[in-house]
Amino acid sequence: MTQFLFFSGKGGVGKTSMACTTAVRYADEGQRILIVTTDPASNLADVFEQPIGHQITPIEGVPNLWAMEIDADKATEEYKDRALAPLRAAFPLQMVAVMEEQMSGPCTAEVAAFDRFTDFLEAPTNGDISFDIVIFDTAPTGHTLRLIELPAEWSRSIEEAEHGSGQTCIGPAAAIQDAKHKYERAVATMRSPQQTRFIFVLQPEATSIKETLRAIDELQKLAIHTHELIINGVIPTAESANLLFAQRRTMQQTYLAQIERELPLPARQMYLLEREIKGTERLREVAKILFDGANLPAHVEGAAISGMVFTPFVGEEALARLIPNGQRRTVFFAGKGGVGKTVASCVTAVWLAHQGYKTLLLTTDPAAHIGDVLGVPVGDTIAPVKGVANLWATKIDPKAAGDTYKRRVLNDARERGRPESALKMMEEELNSPCTEEIAAFDLFIDYASQADWEVVVFDTAPTGHTLRMLELPVEWSKQLDVKVFASVDTVAADDVAKQHFAQVIDMMRDPTQSTFAFVMYPESTPIIEAYRAAEELRTLGIEPGLAVANFVLDPKDCTTPFTRTRRAMQEKYLAEITERFHVPMIQLPLLPHEVKGIDILTTMGEQLYRDEPVLAEA
């Protein structure tokens, strides 16, 4: 019986490296392993240091190990071909063309990726090779939960359509009946403790623990109960000789005790290492620590560090990309999950508010941690942030936005005198899972169109999902012109929506109004991911405006071989950030404590946002 392992957790906690480490270990033990990523911003190829892509690919130097990165665009085309193939011979070309156009939106892309993913829960084979274990390296938690909820939602959507119009936003119900049964089998497999385990990777910090608890609670609601933990990034005992790391280790001990109390599950610990985890030999070294409890290898003194003065801010050019210049400024913080986008956005929003600018801070990330960082509750409606004049905050909850959106659309249709039959068909379409994403973007458009604010700061979702959201208006505005079997006529409201979309896209393309700040820490994987995202944004006519390097070690804090080796690695990557992005760079220091609360955010803003370089203060 094939075993399935899901690696999940908050962005940036090390899911991919831990999943790849596990895959290499099991393959070396003689088991046939397939590792598949469902993350739109996949890093498998970076960790294995070889091309992979949208096909099952053998991993060089590791017999018994194969990998695949699900490509959403290719999966969508494959899905559409399968769904429409039986209809092409039975219906007129014009009708098939309408169906195909209806299936061209982001909704289909989401279910197509899931459809490809469930293939590996059905028949995990590659030619005559059958796999003993399939490992899923998933997207960050909020999106993973959404993926796992999809089968039940799509099954309901298909069933309702069968009793109504026979049409769903992913195609005719009759054409996807096999998919419904496949999704039901997928849920049954994920619920089986004999076949499936969910391994949550987390770090000993508050937001990571909170997200793991939330994810486990959500999975239990879906009757998925088999969980394990890998606690990653634990500072080695020997580094207590370094003041900065000793303080961070003390902080971690508190959270390790919390994990033991609140998450009484089988658990392994993995140390913070002095070098990146890349390449199969490095993965084997890490596996000895993770699985065998091996000691850390002896420190190898890295290249000499430059001792350059740590400059957390680069001057007036960067300031000019954050401050309004006669019109509203919108600042987007984007990047790989876990790089510190939320901290960067909160520090910036608090500082801008203190400068007297009326500022709105919001998140489109399903995990929504801005309230944790601010230290005050943040709800689904815009509200003032206590303790900071001129600052308001909110989060976009996709479920709440979906409910509001459905009510608004249906009420609008009733006011326009639509017949009950049309209303029923509209309701069927709106009950599909993709409505939440459409609704979340609609709310984003609303906030981005408001004239009340001098500055709007977006703490965006992890890169791949953010790009999907930004591309959505182009795709959806196309769909507004082609309604399923003309069940919904194009009305003036559609034209207003298109106009809003166009205005927001123009705003995002205008560097005098918008700044895209890519947050990364100075290591290969987040830099590559941020660069890919920046290149993809360029295809939409949007240029990067700032680079933010987070968790940077100050040379004066590097007093041990371990810290000097990490600093030498960071210096190499800081230079790479400058070479790749050609924009002003802000450096955020690695601190001895978590960034949490208005006082800490205020102090950080005062240190960072000056128009001359300053030495970082602890």
Residue 498 annotated in active site: no
Q: What residues have CB less than 8 Å from 499, skipping those under 6 apart?
A: none
Q: Is 395 a catalytic residue?
A: no
- Any catalytic annotation for residue 17? yes
Q: Record the tokens describing residue 386, joined without a space.
A: 């206590």
Catalytic residue among 2, 16, 165, 524: 16
* CB of 209 closer than 8 Å to CB of 258: yes
Long-range contacts (CB closer than 8 Å, 24 or more residues apart) made by 304-308: 304/568, 305/555, 305/558, 305/564, 305/567, 305/568, 305/571, 306/555, 306/571, 307/555, 308/555, 308/571
Q: Catalytic: 539?
A: no
Cβ neighbours, 10 Å, residue 320:
15
Contacts of 469-473 with CB under 8 Å at 24 or more apart are 469/364, 469/437, 469/440, 469/441, 469/444, 470/508, 470/537, 470/540, 470/542, 471/106, 471/540, 472/106, 472/437, 472/438, 472/441, 473/441, 473/445, 473/501, 473/502, 473/504, 473/505
For 213, what's the count of Cα atoms within 13 Å in the CB-facing half-sphere?
14
39 is catalytic: yes
**Given CA atoms 607, 357, 542, 436 in this order, what sign does their dihedral have?**
positive
CA distance 78 to 16: 26
Q: Which pairs with CB-CB distance under 8 Å and at least 24 residues apart come from 258-266?
A: 258/209, 259/202, 259/204, 259/209, 259/229, 259/231, 262/209, 262/213, 263/209, 263/212, 263/213, 263/216, 263/229, 265/227, 265/228, 265/229, 266/228, 266/229
Residue 442 structure tokens: 């609609």
- Which are the contacts of 143, defined by CB distance < 8 A and separation ≥ 6? 366, 461, 462, 465
Q: Are 401 and 435 in contact (CB under 8 A)?
A: no
Q: In what order do the strands lie in the sheet with 514-520?
A: 383-384, 391-395, 359-363, 455-459, 329-334, 514-520, 546-552, 585-589
Would you tell me how many other CB atoms lie within 10 Å of the CB of residue 325?
Answer: 10
Residue from 22, 39, 142, 280 carrying the catalytic annotation: 39
DSSP 66-103: EEEE--HHHHHHHHHHHHHHHHHTTS-HHHHHHHHHHT
Sequence-distant (≥ 6) Cβ neighbours of residue 467 within 8 angstroms: 40, 533, 536, 537
C-alpha to C-alpha distance for 461 and 465, rounded to whole angstroms: 6
The residue length of the chain stands at 618
Q: Is 364 a catalytic residue?
A: no
User: Which of 80, 138, 85 is closest to 109 using CA atoms?
Assistant: 80
Residue type, 182: K
**Of 12, 142, 302, 402, which one is the catalytic site residue?**
12
Q: Do strands 129-130 and 125-126 pair parallel, antiparallel, or not at all (unpaired)?
A: antiparallel
DSSP 308: P
554 is catalytic: no
Options 9, 11, 15, 341, the catalytic residue: 15
For the chain, count helices (H), then strands (E). Answer: 21, 20
Of residues 14, 142, 171, 338, which has the active-site annotation? 14
- Which helix (H) or strand (E) is 345 found in, with range? helix 341-354
Which of 428, 429, 438, 363 is closest to 404 using CA atoms? 438
Among all residues, which ones are annotated catalytic? 12, 14-17, 39, 525
